[in-house]
Chain A
Amino acid sequence: KNQVEQSPQSLIILEGKNCTLQCNYTVSPFSNLRWYKQDTGRGPVSLTIMTFSENTKSNGRYTATLDADTKQSSLHITASQLSDSASYICVVSDQTGANNLFFGTGTRLTVIP
């Protein structure tokens, strides 16, 4: 069964600290993996997208890694800011078409001063 699991479910960190969010998936055949940031009450916004051949991609203070062999991805946030408080959602596509997107349930990150 195609699944995407994220951990931790929630995380609280101090402003300025780094953190890493995890995403494990069983989706096959794999096409790509995306990380989204979703602020409360708003739609998800894309942070990164990685295909099979990419093992790291950065977007400012956000760096995503992908290990297609172990089917794991991580999102690393450097020097966190209060505005990083949001839910982070991992989404994996298979190769059968754009409609086959598998969503993780997200990690709720809270950055406190």
Chain B
Amino acid sequence: EAQVTQNPRYLITVTGKKLTVTCSQNMNHEYMSWYRQDPGLGLRQIYYSMNVEVTDKGDVPEGYKVSRKEKRNFPLILESPSPNQTSLYFCASIRLGGTHGTQYFGPGTRLTVL
């Protein structure tokens, strides 16, 4: 079954404690992306990756890092989380080339930074 998985699904942490949210897809998609979703603001792109070792900033990259060492994994790293990073995070992947295919979203990670 084609899917995007994220872990953890829920996380409560404290300011400044480094954390990583993992994302993995089994569809061999080139393109992966991280979004945060906040009430009234919709989905906003944090970082995206067009392929292995190729990453780029989205609309709201401050305070986040990503890496793409393998095609299937695209972890989101918060080196020093702050309360304004409390949000619902989604990872997504899409196959590039031809007409644009469907973007598959993960189930989401709800992060609370105290």
Q: Are B31 and A34 in contact (CB under 8 A)?
A: no
Q: Are A99 and B50 in contact (CB under 8 A)?
A: yes
Chain A min CB distance to B108 (Å): 5
Q: Are A93 and B100 in contact (CB under 8 A)?
A: yes
Chain A min CB distance to B11 (Å): 14
A98 in complex: contacting residue of B41, B90, B94, B104, CB < 8 Å = B94
A51 in complex: contacting residue of B4, B31, B99, CB < 8 Å = B99
Contact flag A98-B100 (CB < 8 Å), given A43-B107, A43-B108: yes
A interface residues, tally (CB under 8 Å): 22
Contact with B along A74-113 (1 / 0, CB 8 A): 0000000000000001010100001101011110000000
Asked if A20 lies at the interface with its beta carbon under 8 angstroms from chain B, I say no
Contact with B along A1-34 (1 / 0, CB 8 A): 0000000000000000000000000000001101
Residues of A within 8 A of B108 (CB): 41-43
Q: Are B42 and A106 in contact (CB under 8 A)?
A: yes
- Secondary structure at the B interface, as helix, strand, loop or mixed, is strand
Chain A min CB distance to B57 (Å): 10
Q: Are A34 and B105 in contact (CB under 8 A)?
A: no
Residues of A within 8 A of B31 (CB): 98-99
Contact flag A32-B100 (CB < 8 Å), given A42-B108, A45-B105, A99-B56: yes
Q: Are A49 and B105 in contact (CB under 8 A)?
A: no
Contact flag A44-B45 (CB < 8 Å), given A31-B100, A49-B100, A98-B94: no
Inter-chain pairs besides A42-B107, A43-B105, A103-B44, 16 sampled, C-beta below 8 Å:
A34-B103, A42-B108, A43-B4, A46-B102, A46-B103, A51-B99, A89-B43, A98-B31, A98-B94, A98-B100, A99-B31, A99-B45, A99-B56, A101-B103, A103-B43, A105-B41
| 16 examples of A-B residue contacts, CB within 8 angstroms | A41-B110, A42-B107, A43-B92, A43-B106, A44-B105, A46-B103, A49-B100, A49-B102, A51-B99, A89-B42, A91-B103, A98-B94, A99-B48, A103-B43, A103-B44, A106-B42
- Chain A residues with CB under 8 Å of chain B are 31-32, 34, 36, 41-46, 49, 51, 89, 91, 93, 98-99, 101, 103-106
